[in-house]
């Protein structure tokens, strides 16, 4: 059902955790729906210097969070903003059809964290 | 890595003796049982011998057994067979809210055809209230179907009480006994049911086998119209090797169940699993009835983590269990059983079900306890819902 890459990221998820003094936080989903991701970012010189997350969800949800964090870490904010659910799914060598929404959630959570950072900056 | 298999509700390994019994019926004794000549008639006899063995497992006569392809088919035949036969006038059907999909959807099938269906609620342990059934039965009620035990939460229904209410009110009573036949002694006369479904994979018989018990003189419209097989009640050339397998498995099960220590041992393993998990993992709910439940069944809802992820963590270390979590279902819907017993949707995501059998060993349970505790710890460490790391 799941690719080797998905199973790798599920068994050894990268960048798990929280950042106490995060520059931006993005949370999507809720346990009632069965999926929830909270992304924390630290921004330096417009780049994602650090990124951590916590996830409540299935194998796909955890693998997606890990992959998104891996794809986004070190990237510029502009580069990170255009990480799509399709790119995430491809980077994971594909997801079962009914799990594609998990890749959407991951991309969304990251976008929200960046949005939160930009809001904080302007306030 | 040695596998530790704790999902016997899903499938059981077929006994070597059963496989050996089946083999000659593929190439040696292969004639069609309906053929007029000797080698066909012989096979017909073999089928009826094995029909007797299946009957014997549940206290029924051979002629009260119809062979089907599965428990699901037996359920469909019971419900649609009774309703379409129209032996009693009426348009009301009663089932519990926690039936298997084959019963639920058969009932919904009739709902779409202007029949009325009552879905009896269950309490927090998954039990149907006999008074609730009494109140729900009307003059137009033609069928009640309530499962003997539920495979998701293990609870066993008070079938004898429920069937006697139906007997009093002259309503046909069917029970889906897929979860119980082969695990505990089941007798159709003690339960006093009109129809009972059983499934081969639940008792060490091959997949693709099952049976329906029906009380004599009960009119049943066949689902599969066809020839003369199963006395006109189920068309199609018989699955001879499967039937032989089912009969042999039934015989073995009957023998094993006649020794109560076998059931006790399964119960002990289950109790140890529950004790071990409860001692090592906090914030976890044991679902289903604490006592009135299948001897090898243990089901939990674990706070702050999701069931499919837990299952994969376990299989990564060779341990096989099941889950009712929404993410694990193709439909991505929360288990209707957990909803029916009032488990909050977030907690229902953390569902895990273990079904232990006579083939398991106590040391496997110890490994399972340890692996389970570590898996829950790991998943909670990355969960935003655990210990309230909710930021917004």
Give chain B's mean pLDDT.
95
Q: Which among A13, A27, A56 is the nearest to B305, CB-wise?
A: A56
**Nearest chain B residue (CA) to A18:** B389
Query: Residue A40 in contact with residue B382, Cβ under 8 Å?
Result: no
Min Cα distance A103 → chain B (Å) is 14
| CATH of range B16-256; options 3.40.50.300, 3.40.640.10, 1.20.120.530, 3.10.129.10 | 3.40.640.10
Q: How far is B377 from chain A (nearest CA, A)?
A: 13
pLDDT tens digit sequence for B201-228: 999 999 999 999 999 999 999 999 988 8
pLDDT at B388: 59
Q: How confident is the model at residue B325 (pLDDT cuts 50, 70, 90)?
A: confident
Which tens digits make up the pLDDT trace of A27-65? Answer: 999 888 788 999 999 999 999 999 999 999 999 999 999
Q: How far apart are CA B278 and CA B289, in angstroms?
A: 16
Catalytic position from the list B327, B362, B381, B382: B327
Q: Which pLDDT score, from 0 to 100, does residue B324 have?
A: 78
Reduced to 3 states (helix: H, G, I; strand: E, B; else coil), residue B320 is strand
Using the Cβ of B304 and the Cβ atoms of chain A, whether some distance falls under 8 Å is answered with yes
> Which CATH topology does B260-388 take?
3.90.1150
For residue B3, name the pLDDT band (cuts at 50, 70, 90): very high
pLDDT of residue B300: 97
Q: Give catalytic status of residue A102 as yes or no.
A: yes
Q: Where in chain B is the domain with CATH 3.40.640.10?
A: 16-256
In a 13 Å sphere around the CA of B388, the CA atoms on its Cβ side amount to 0
ipTM of the complex: 0.93
d(CA A104, CA A101): 5
Compare all CA atoms of chain B with the CA of A33 and give the residue at the minimum distance: B346
- In angstroms, the CA B248 to CA B15 distance is 9
- Please report residues of B whose CB lies closer than 8 A to that of A7: 312
Q: What secondary structure does DSSP assign to B154-212, as a single string? A: -BB--HHHHHHHHHHTT-EEEEE-TTTBTTB---HHHHT-SEEEEEGGGGTPPTT-EEE
Per-residue pLDDT at B390 exceeds 80: no
CA–CA distance from A76 to each of A69, B72, B91 (Å)? 13, 56, 67
Interchain CB distance below 8 Å, B390 and A38: yes
The residue of chain B nearest to residue A17, with distances taken between CA atoms, is: B382
Judged against a pLDDT cut of 60, whether residue B391 lies above it is answered with no
Domain boundaries, chain A: 4-122
Contacts with A, B 311-370, CB within 8 Å: 312, 316, 325-328, 330, 332, 334, 345-346, 349
Contact B308 A58 (CB under 8 A): yes
Chain B contact set for A13 (CB, 8 A):
382
Nearest Cα of chain A lies from the Cα of B383 at a distance, in angstroms, of 5
Identify from B301, B305, B323, B384 which residue to disrupt to test chain A contact, counting A C-beta atoms within 10 A and taking the largest count. B384
Q: Does domain A4-122 have CATH number 3.90.1010.10?
A: yes
Mean pLDDT, residues B338-359 taken together: 95
For residue B392, what pLDDT band results from cuts at 50, 70 and 90? very low
Question: B227-272, pLDDT tens digit by residue?
Answer: 889 999 999 999 999 999 999 999 999 999 999 999 999 999 999 9
CB-based contact B249:B15 (threshold 8 Å): yes
Q: Name chain A contacts of B345, Cβ cutoff 8 Å.
A: 31-32
> Sorting pLDDT into bands at 50, 70 and 90, what band is A15?
very high
What pTM was computed for the model? 0.94
- On the question of pLDDT at B389 being above 80, the answer is no
- Segment B48-75 shows an average pLDDT of 98
- Interchain CB distance below 8 Å, B345 and A16: no
Nearest residue on chain A to B333, alpha-carbon basis: A33
Cβ <8 Å between A34 and B392: no
Tell me which of A57, A61, A99, A116 to substitute to probe the interface with B (most B C-beta atoms closer than 10 Å): A57
Residues of A in contact with B325 (CB under 8 A): 34, 58
- Is the pLDDT score of B331 beyond 90? no
- Please state, in angstroms and rounded to a whole number, the distance separating the CA atoms of residues A57 and B388: 16
* In chain B, ranges of CATH 3.90.1150.10 domains: 260-388
Which residue among A25, A59, A98 places its CB closest to the CB of B391?
Answer: A25
pLDDT band at B330 (very low <50, low <70, confident <90, very high): low
Respond yes or no: is residue A33 known to be catalytic: yes
Model confidence over A70-96: pLDDT tens digits? 999 999 999 999 999 999 999 999 999
Please tell me the predicted confidence (pLDDT) of residue A100: 86
pLDDT of the residue at A121? 85
**Residues B97-128: pLDDT tens digits?**
999 999 999 999 999 998 999 999 999 999 99
Nearest to A31 among B330, B385, B389 (CB): B385
């Amino acid at each position: 059902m799941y690719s080797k890459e998905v199973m790798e990221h599920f068994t050894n998820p990268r960048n798990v955790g929280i950042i106490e003094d995060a520059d931006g936080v993005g949370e999507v989903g809720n346990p009632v729906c069965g999926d929830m991701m909270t992304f924390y970012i630290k921004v330096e010189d417009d780049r994602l210097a650090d990124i951590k997350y916590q996830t409540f969800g299935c194998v796909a949800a955890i693998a997606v969070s890990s992959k998104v964090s891996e794809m986004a870490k070190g990237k510029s904010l502009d580069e990170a903003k255009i990480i799509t659910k399709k790119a995430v799914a491809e980077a994971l060598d594909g997801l079962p059809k009914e799990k594609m929404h998990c890749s959407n959630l991951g991309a969304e959570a990251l976008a929200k964290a960046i949005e939160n950072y930009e809001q904080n900056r302007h306030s | 890595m040695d596998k530790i298999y704790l999902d016997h509700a899903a499938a059981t390994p077929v006994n070597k003796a059963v496989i050996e019994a089946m083999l000659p019926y593929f190439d040696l004794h292969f004639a069609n049982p309906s053929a007029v000549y000797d080698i066909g008639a012989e096979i017909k006899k073999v089928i009826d011998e094995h029909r007797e063995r299946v009957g014997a497992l549940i206290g029924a006569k051979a002629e009260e057994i119809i062979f089907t392809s599965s428990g699901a088919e037996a359920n469909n035949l019971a419900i649609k067979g009774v309703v379409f036969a129209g032996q009693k006038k009426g348009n009301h059907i009663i089932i519990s809210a926690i039936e298997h999909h084959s019963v639920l959807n058969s009932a919904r099938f009739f709902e779409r055809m202007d029949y009325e269906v009552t879905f009896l609620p269950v309490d927090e342990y998954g039990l149907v209230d006999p008074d609730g059934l009494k109140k729900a039965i009307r003059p137009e009620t033609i069928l009640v179907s309530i499962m003997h035990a539920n495979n998701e939460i293990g609870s066993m229904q008070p079938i004898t009480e429920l069937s006697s209410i139906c007997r009093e009110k002259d309503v046909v009573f069917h029970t889906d006994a897929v979860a119980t036949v082969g695990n505990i002694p089941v007798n159709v006369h003690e339960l006093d049911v009109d129809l009972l479904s059983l499934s081969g994979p639940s008792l060490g018989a091959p997949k693709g086998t099952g049976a329906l018990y029906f009380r004599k003189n009960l009119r049943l419209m066949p689902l599969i119209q066809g020839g003369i097989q199963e006395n006109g009640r189920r068309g199609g050339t018989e699955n001879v090797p499967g039937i032989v397998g089912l009969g042999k498995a039934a015989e073995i099960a009957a023998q094993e169940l006649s020794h109560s220590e076998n059931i006790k041992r399964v119960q002990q393993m289950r109790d140890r699993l529950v004790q071990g998990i409860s001692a090592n993992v906090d914030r976890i709910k044991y679902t289903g009835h604490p006592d009135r439940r299948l001897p090898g069944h243990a089901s939990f809802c674990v706070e702050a983590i999701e069931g499919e992820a837990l299952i994969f963590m376990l299989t990564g270390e060779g341990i096989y269990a099941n889950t009712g979590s929404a993410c694990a279902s193709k439909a991505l819907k929360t288990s209707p059983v957990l909803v029916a017993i009032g488990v909050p949707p977030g907690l229902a995501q953390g569902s895990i079900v273990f079904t232990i059998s006579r083939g398991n060993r106590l040391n496997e349970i110890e490994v399972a306890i340890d692996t389970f505790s570590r898996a829950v710890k790991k998943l909670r460490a990355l969960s935003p819902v655990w210990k309230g790391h909710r930021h917004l």
